[in-house]
Structure 1
Amino acid sequence: MLERERRSSITQVLLGEDNSKSPEMPWPSRKRDKGAVADKKEPDAKIAKTEEETEDKEEEEKSTKPPAGSSKSGWKNWKKAKESDSGGEESKITYCHWLLKSEPESRLEKGVDVKFSIEDLKAQPNQTTFWEGVRNYQARNFLRAMKLGQQAFFYHSNCKEPGIVGIVKIVKEAYPDHTQFDQKDPHYDSSSRKENPKWSMVDVQFVRMTKRFIPLSEIKTHHLAHKADGGPLKNMMLFSRQRLSIQPLTQEEFDFVLSLEEEKPH
């Protein structure tokens, strides 16, 4: 018996079958599943390098800070009406309306009065004019994004009581602003070239006056309330980028502000 076991052991050694101290084998290499391989990131869209934004000339509106109370007069009832109309579906967030600021009171800039109120627009032939003089890159880009037929609030700015006074519509999409080449114009830009204009403008036409003046202070009251309860004005650019003379509005922002014309002023 001992002789048999000894011979068996010798046979295992000769045949290399001794497993008492088998060398450790590395883990098999893991093949990456084709579906698990990370997709190559598409290169980010190239963003044109622009000069630093120039500050708009208009002063930041100075309004008394309203209390951050509840937006009793509109948000809940407006929300119910919207949900009823849309079957409860949330509106897709896109910028499809605009807010255009203009100064209704006389102010000289390089010897030129830059006053232009909604009454001045109504006095234009066919109640239509070009919206020129924008010298801020972001505001210019918003101008270039405007589409034919889109509506905008006409907003009286840099005055005793700023706010929304009417509605206009875009009747011609962006094209070169001629004032950038006019040395007598306060918005002349010597660095702009006709073969590659820096600045653009659109044509707007008067649609109607709002049923009442909607002051900035009232809009701000709703904005503060909506920041707390998630209402449509929570991210309104009028309060995050006050100096921009051209501002985009979502459908919800536009609809809610427009609904305020039906309410009694606070």
Structure 2
Amino acid sequence: MAHWLYKSEPDVFSWDALVAEGDKGTHWNGVRNHLAKLNLRAMKLGDRGFFYHSNEGKEIVGVVEVIREAYPDHTAPEGSPWVMVDIKAVEPLPRPVTLAAVKAEPKLAKMALVTSMRLSVQPVTDEEWDVVRQMGGL
């Protein structure tokens, strides 16, 4: 199973909004970066990821799961290469993990959240996954 990080501005779409969608989840659309698109295409059913509040908060707040693999993004022009996946909320982190805490943890120095901050959908290594989960109280 691969792990990912999904970034969203909480005033646009927050963790609470995803939780409100329940088990049906929602689509993760609007990605317009080629590397992020490749990440979406690599996702498999059941993959887990972190939900990160960007701009406001700057913290990892929950765990999500891929419930539908990549398919055409309905917000993109017809025939474009852009895709989306569906995700659902799995569980909140008991202690949100701030960007400052991630940057302060030497084991996370190479995490995409630190090295590729602008990328909206990022891979997370197994070691990073374990470290962040522990920092977040899971």
- 1:134 shift after superposition: 0.2
Which residue pairs with 1:98 in the alignment? 4
Kept in 2, the 8 Å contact 1:127–1:206? The answer is no
Structure with the greater alpha carbon radius of gyration:
1
Which residue pairs with 1:46 in the alignment? none
Alignment partner for residue 88 of structure 2, among 198, 205, 213? 205
5+ residue gaps in structure 1? 1-94, 106-114, 182-192
Which residue pairs with 2:67 in the alignment? 171
Which residue pairs with 1:180 in the alignment? 76
Which residue pairs with 1:221 in the alignment? 104
Q: Report the Cα distance in structure 2 between the residues aligned to 1:206 and 1:261, rounded to whole angstroms.
A: 16
Q: Report the Cα distance in structure 1 between the residues aligned to 2:110 and 2:2, rounded to whole angstroms.
A: 15
The structure, 1 or 2, with the larger RCO (C-alpha pairs under 8 Å, 6+ apart) is 2
Kept in 2, the 8 Å contact 1:121–1:127? The answer is no
Moved over 2 A (4+): none
The answer to which structure has the higher strand fraction is 2
Give secondary structure in 1 for the equivalent of 2:52. Answer: strand
Give secondary structure in 2 for the equivalent of 1:179. Answer: coil
Matches within 5 A, 1:253-264: 253-262=128-137
Which residue pairs with 2:116 in the alignment? 241
Please give the per-residue CA displacement for 1:70-95, whole angstroms capped at 9, x wherever unaligned: xxxxxxxxxxxxxxxxxxxxxxxxx8
Please give the per-residue CA displacement for 1:84-131, whole angstroms capped at 9, x wherever unaligned: xxxxxxxxxxx81000001112xxxxxxxxx10011111225350000
Q: Report the Cα distance in structure 2 between the residues aligned to 1:243 and 1:129, rounded to whole angstroms.
A: 22
Which residue pairs with 1:135 in the alignment? 32
Which residue pairs with 2:58 in the alignment? 162
Quick one: which amino acid aligns to residue 119 of structure 2? L
Report the TM-score when normalising by structure 1.
Answer: 0.50
- 1:138 shift after superposition: 0.5
Are residues 132 and 147 of structure 1, via their aligned partners in 2, closer, same or farther at CA, if it must alter by over 3 Å?
same
5+ residue gaps in structure 2? none
- 1:252 shift after superposition: 0.5
For the aligned residue pairs, the C-alpha RMSD in angstroms reads 1.6
Give secondary structure in 2 for the equivalent of 1:178. Answer: coil
Percent identity over paired residues: 46
Are residues 127 and 198 of structure 1, via their aligned partners in 2, closer, same or farther at CA, if it must alter by over 3 Å?
same
Kept in 1, the 8 Å contact 2:6–2:50? The answer is yes
Report the TM-score when normalising by structure 2.
Answer: 0.94
Which residue pairs with 1:152 in the alignment? 49
Please give the per-residue CA displacement for 1:29-74, whole angstroms capped at 9, x wherever unaligned: xxxxxxxxxxxxxxxxxxxxxxxxxxxxxxxxxxxxxxxxxxxxxx
Tell me the matched-pair count.
138
